[in-house]
Structure 1
Amino acid sequence: MSALWVVVPAHQEAARIGTTLEALASQRDRDFTLVVVDNASGDSTAGIAREFARRAPFPVHVLTERDKGVGCAVDTGFRYAVEHGATLLARTDADCVPHPGWTGAARAALERGAGMVCGRIEARRDEHGPLGRAGFRAMVALAAFFGRIRPAHRRRHGYLAPYRMHAGNNMAITARLYEAVGGMPRRPSPTDRLFLNRVRRRTTAIVHARDMVVENSTRRLRAYGVVGTARWYLDKGPGRHGEDPR
């Protein structure tokens, strides 16, 4: 059994999860086990994952998490993986496209001694042209800069490591560290910053791997706009918007 398990939380992703699953099947390093956690979907998300499992080039487990919230789905998937022997954990989302070297880069960084690995995110090519992707990169760089200078993220607050840009849809962590920090907050999005800060209070072994690349959907950005998305990431709610559009 592989030491590496990949977890994909999914809510109402019938239109997109097929692309994510095919991207995982196209990884150069396919020595991993996949866990898809269907998070209270009302569409055919789980059925698509089960059909994929019949022909996948690696073991696939499809779980159901009735408590809605990406944090609940991720935590259920990671804990299931650990209970079944995982020592290395990676996560992407069901609207994302991991590049072919994604799992290999995650494994390599963890085996070199990282406790947690933050990968690089880009805008999905099927949603944007070159200008749109360049704009997305600029926004990510701005968000990373803000995170580094934000007073609440300074090390005097008990953090052992400096703040690094962390996207939950492109991360990897050792099972031991995941359990040591108490796991992912079991709540709706956003959870990424909360989880990263849990890890920062525990270890300095947090690295950024530029060769661990995931193409990210920008549905939330288009639905909320720049200001609304910033409010959402700062945990101030979506304003006038309703359910998270992911």
Structure 2
Amino acid sequence: MTAPDPAPAPAGLWVVVPAHQEEARIGGTLRALAAQHDRDFTLVVVDNASTDATARIARAFAARAPFPVHVIEEKEKGVGCAVDTAFRYAIERGAVHLARTDADCLPRPGWTAAARRPLTAAGPGGALVCGRVDARRDEHGPLGRAAFRTMVRAAALFGRLRPAHARRHGYLAPYRMHAGNNMAVTSGLYLRVGGMPRRPSPTDRTFLNRVRRHTTAITHCGAMVVENSTRRLKAYGLLGTARWYLDKGCGPLGRTPLMLDHLDSTLRRDPTAPRC
């Protein structure tokens, strides 16, 4: 059941957080949003068919949050379904600018302010802004975080060099690494490109390529930083995680007997670890 709408923030920025079985981590995400320097926004937490306390934690936060919070449900599983439902929910209620992070991520305190600036400066055609992702400092030591950064850089390079991403295929802008857990878009552009693909993750590359067919207004904002969970790195290993971020799923690299044994062990220790 969706709670009655609280009064939205006046500035037109809405932040969306999709969440599935995130009772162990969503509290940290909500606290990070409450610690933003710019808190003039409305938050939408979309509970994506969770059976744990995810929604209850979000509703308890809503009662004391320093900004309006909507907690809604999307029963069709898949991060694309959850994000699209939440974005369209926000747009129907007057959202002009949309930002997204995930329920296992920690936006740094300047995140909303950094997201707002390029969206506000965008022309009538709108814009997509891609932020910078780093590894959560509470999940890995220096070597793990360095491995994560290396993987992200490698994926970004591969995306730029991938022949299917060349502009001769009808794209108006070069490929730029786009992490769905750290992005912002104007509502008009979101609707114009058809929204987020309504399917399970990964969806980021498909959405970015939809945007690339409509506009050149795709920017990277280095001040828009989210600390990303590295639990996928723990569960799938470096090669399996790289395959995931290249939009192939963990696939055969994630399904070798050794990897399955490792994943089963990880799931026993942490039932919220990501599954393919």
Q: Give TM-score, length-normalised by structure 2.
A: 0.86
Q: Distance in 2 between matches of 1:234 and 1:206?
A: 19
Q: Distance in 2 between matches of 1:76 and 1:68?
A: 12
Q: Which letter does structure 2 place at the counterpart of 1:140?
A: V
1:93 aligns with 2:102: yes
1:84 aligned to which of 93, 105, 108: 93
1:163 aligns with 2:180: no
Shift of 1:138: 1.6
Q: Is the 8 A contact 2:140 2:230 kept in 1?
A: no
Q: Which residue of 1 aligns with 2:213?
A: 201
Q: Which residue of 2 aligns with 1:50?
A: 59
Shift of 1:225: 1.6
Q: Which letter does structure 1 place at the counterpart of 2:64?
A: R
Gaps of 5+ in 2: 1-9, 264-271
Give 1 or 2 for the bigger CA radius of gyration. Answer: 2
Shift of 1:244: 7.1
1:208 aligned counterpart, secondary structure: strand
Alignment of 1:170-181 (within 5 A): 170-181=182-193
Q: 1:244 to 1:181 in 2, by over 3 A?
A: farther
Q: 1:128 to 1:244 in 2, by over 3 A?
A: closer
Q: Distance in 2 between matches of 1:22 and 1:41?
A: 20
- Of 129-138 and 46-55, deviating more is 129-138
Q: Is the 8 A contact 2:62 2:69 kept in 1?
A: yes
Shift of 1:235: 4.0
Gaps of 5+ in 1: none
Q: Which letter does structure 2 place at the counterpart of 1:164?
A: R
Q: Distance in 2 between matches of 1:51 and 1:57?
A: 13
Shift of 1:231: 2.9
Alignment of 1:221-236 (within 5 A): 221-236=233-248
Q: Which residue of 2 aligns with 1:130?
A: 142
The C-alpha deviation readout for 1:58-78, integer Å capped at 9, x for no partner, is: 000000000000000000000
1:12 aligns with 2:36: no
RMSD value over aligned CA atoms? 1.5
Q: Distance in 2 between matches of 1:211 and 1:14?
A: 28
Q: Is the 8 A contact 2:19 2:103 kept in 1?
A: yes
Alignment length, in residue pairs? 246
1:210 aligns with 2:222: yes
The C-alpha deviation readout for 1:125-183, integer Å capped at 9, x for no partner, is: 10122232222212111111110000111101110000001000000000000000000
Q: 1:23 to 1:94 in 2, by over 3 A?
A: same
Q: Distance in 2 between matches of 1:226 and 1:192?
A: 20
The C-alpha deviation readout for 1:190-240, integer Å capped at 9, x for no partner, is: 000000000000000000000000000011122112222233334434332
Q: Distance in 2 between matches of 1:36 and 1:18?
A: 12
Q: Which residue of 2 aligns with 1:245?
A: 274
- Give the percent of matched residue pairs that are identical in Structure 1 and Structure 2: 75
Q: Give TM-score, length-normalised by structure 1.
A: 0.96
Regions of 4+ moved over 6 Å: none
Q: Which letter does structure 2 place at the counterpart of 1:11?
A: H
Q: Is the 8 A contact 2:231 2:273 kept in 1?
A: no
Q: Which residue of 2 aligns with 1:107?
A: 116
Shift of 1:104: 0.1
1:48 aligned counterpart, secondary structure: helix
